[in-house]
Structure 1
Amino acid sequence: MTIDTTPRPRRSVLYMPGANERALEKAKTLPADALILDLEDAVAPDAKAAARDRVCAAATSGEYGSREVTIRVNGIGTPWHADDLRAAAEAGPAAVVVPKVNSAMEVHAIERGLEAAGVPDHTAIWAMLETPVAMLHAEEIARASARLTVLVMGTNDLAKELHAEHVPGRAPLLTGLSLCLLAARATGRVILDGVYNDVQDLAGFEAECAQGRQFGFDGKTLIHPGQLEPCNRVFAPSAEEIERSQRIIEAFDEAQRAGLGVATVDGRLIESLHVDNARRVLALAEAIGALTA
């Protein structure tokens, strides 16, 4: 197995309905870092088979440029899961996104199903965490397989399971979000924030992007192209952050040459942990630049 674990931008990850051929065509021109070609919620039961063929053809077309193309299959226990998994394995996208993953055992079953269908080594698993059970078992899910590289928050289903209201600031969801972030960072996985439902409320959406970035999410899943610009902007390092990161690294290097273990930048103490973060910021900025060049 040769999963590519090179850090790459996943600021904006846009769901595209697999039953909509025009949407799949439009996705080729959108500035999303990644696409989730969806066979689950966006597809009616009687359209599942046709959407499966359409999505797999799109994933193998090579027409999406630098965008990371993934396929979301229907969940374990549904009538379509096994066929979706086989077809996705044969298509070999960057990843197969599986909804409502609740245990390490389910990750193992997904991996076995993909490998039995001849999935290529480069195809990863993205696990959606959407239930209280998943929140409480997030670390074991994240550790279950080297093929599992990304955790995706399913905040709509989580709110439903919790009987919680959708409110600004997402207070009812913060415990679950935090548990999954801890699991992602403890296991070295990427983690994506959930969707924002009101596509007309760009101010509210941008505020939630900012909250997600402050929490530590790597990016956000989206349901409308109009959400792409603010999402890409918020989850990218600003010019000020890049400049400050450069100064932090230069100041620390100069301090080390002088035999010192710390430095100061703008009156603040700088240690090696700040340098690590500065290097991460610059690496992300460079990767975004390469993606958009």
Structure 2
Amino acid sequence: MRALHAPTRRRAVLIVPGFEERKITKALAAGADEVVIDLEDAVAVDSKAKARALVVRVLRELDRDPARSIAVRVNGLATQWAADDLAALAEVSALDSVVLPKVEAAADLVRARELLGRHPATLQALIETPRGVQDIDEICRTTAPLAAVVIGYADLGAALGRGAELPPQRWAAIQDRVLLAARASGVAAIDGPHLGIADNADFRGRVHWAREAGFDGKWVLHPGQIDTTAAEFTPNPAAVEAARRVLAALDEAAERGLGVARLGDQMLDEAVAVAARRVLTQTEGN
């Protein structure tokens, strides 16, 4: 099975419950870089099978926007629903990525990949337990096709004995831990959702903090939060032009057989190139 789309941007990721067709359809048209349809926390125990069938039908019938990514958050591997979730999604070509909750080991991702069979979907690891944070390096080094790691503040906060809605500065140590592991393995790092649904000063401050911390994007719970989030994670024109000049200088040096490149008074190396490519990815989505 061949996926219809392989996006790279996840500036604004909208999560939507997987039990109501109208909300799913509306979310898919809301303009987020990625929509995550939730079969886990948002769905009651006695509605799991019904929600799964609904999501599969909606995605099969969807006339999708190729500029947007579609992901589904399945139930955790320790539950009785995970295998059925992944088996059903393995037959859906419109699926780009699977979000696996409560990932605590690289083996969790490998097992999810096995259950997806030959489907080309990538995986995303939701980090929401102390063990997941502790073993984040191993998780990011998995042999499974891991595209992103996402911090889940609600469950993680409960496990740590702290409120999920503490000021973002109180999460800095964990954010840095996850971000460093992701960057070392070339995996995107996405900040988890703020539990409020308003696009207010508190929300904007949290989005700004996540972007300054180095994250690639943030989950949001309401379509009204998409524009603010996408704008925050989109580099400004000056940064874009600087990134293009850096990569052009490196390409020119390579063509001339030079081991180093220079742009004005700046010596350029691969680290500078990585940063420049990330800027263009956030701008152009490729």
TM-score range, shorter chain: 0.7 to 0.9
Residues in 2 aligned to 1:50 and 1:145: alpha-carbon distance in whole angstroms: 32
Please give the residue correspondences for 1:1-20 in structure 2 after superposition, counting only pairs within 5 Å.
8-20=8-20
CA contact (8 A) 2:6 2:69 kept: no
Residues in 1 aligned to 2:250 and 2:91: alpha-carbon distance in whole angstroms: 49
The secondary structure found in structure 2 opposite 1:91 is coil
- The corresponding residue for 2:189 is 191
Q: Which ranges of structure 2 fall in alignment gaps of 5 or more residues?
A: none
The secondary structure found in structure 2 opposite 1:128 is strand
AA paired with 1:141? I
Residues in 2 aligned to 1:217 and 1:3: alpha-carbon distance in whole angstroms: 26
Shift in Å at residue 276 of structure 1? Answer: 4.4
AA paired with 2:73? R
The secondary structure found in structure 2 opposite 1:90 is coil
Root-mean-square deviation (CA), in Å?
A: 2.8
- The corresponding residue for 1:169 is 168
- The corresponding residue for 2:126 is 128
Residues in 1 aligned to 2:273 and 2:87: alpha-carbon distance in whole angstroms: 45
- The corresponding residue for 1:291 is none
Shift in Å at residue 203 of structure 1? Answer: 1.6
Residues in 1 aligned to 2:64 and 2:81: alpha-carbon distance in whole angstroms: 26
1:55 aligns with 2:52: no
Relative distance call for 1:112 and 1:244 in structure 2 (3 A) is closer
AA paired with 1:96? V
Shift in Å at residue 271 of structure 1? Answer: 3.3
TM superposition outliers: structure 1 runs of 4+ over 6 Å: 1-7, 250-257
- The corresponding residue for 1:77 is 78
Q: Deviations over 1:202-223 (max 9, x none)?
A: 2222221121112221111111
Relative distance call for 1:275 and 1:105 in structure 2 (3 A) is closer
Q: Which moved more, 1:103-112 or 1:189-198?
A: 103-112
CA contact (8 A) 2:199 2:228 kept: no
Residues in 2 aligned to 1:53 and 1:200: alpha-carbon distance in whole angstroms: 31
CA contact (8 A) 1:236 1:285 kept: yes
- The corresponding residue for 1:145 is 143
- The corresponding residue for 1:228 is 226
Residues in 1 aligned to 2:52 and 2:116: alpha-carbon distance in whole angstroms: 16
- The corresponding residue for 1:96 is 98
- The corresponding residue for 1:46 is 46
Q: Which moved more, 1:100-109 or 1:248-257?
A: 248-257
Shift in Å at residue 169 of structure 1? Answer: 2.6
Q: Deviations over 1:116-137 (max 9, x none)?
A: xxx42x2112111111100111
The secondary structure found in structure 2 opposite 1:109 is helix
Shift in Å at residue 57 of structure 1? Answer: 1.6
Residues in 2 aligned to 1:11 and 1:221: alpha-carbon distance in whole angstroms: 8
- The corresponding residue for 1:27 is 27
Q: Deviations over 1:129-177 (max 9, x none)?
A: 1111001111111222232222121121111111113222341x22222
Q: TM-score, normalised by structure 2?
A: 0.86
Residues in 2 aligned to 1:279 and 1:113: alpha-carbon distance in whole angstroms: 33
Shift in Å at residue 286 of structure 1? Answer: 2.6
Relative distance call for 1:11 and 1:241 in structure 2 (3 A) is same
Residues in 2 aligned to 1:253 and 1:124: alpha-carbon distance in whole angstroms: 30
Residues in 2 aligned to 1:70 and 1:174: alpha-carbon distance in whole angstroms: 27
- The corresponding residue for 2:87 is 86
How many residue pairs match? The answer is: 279
Q: Which ranges of structure 1 fall in alignment gaps of 5 or more residues?
A: 289-293
Relative distance call for 1:24 and 1:180 in structure 2 (3 A) is same
Q: TM-score, normalised by structure 1?
A: 0.84
Relative distance call for 1:24 and 1:7 in structure 2 (3 A) is closer
Relative distance call for 1:5 and 1:141 in structure 2 (3 A) is farther
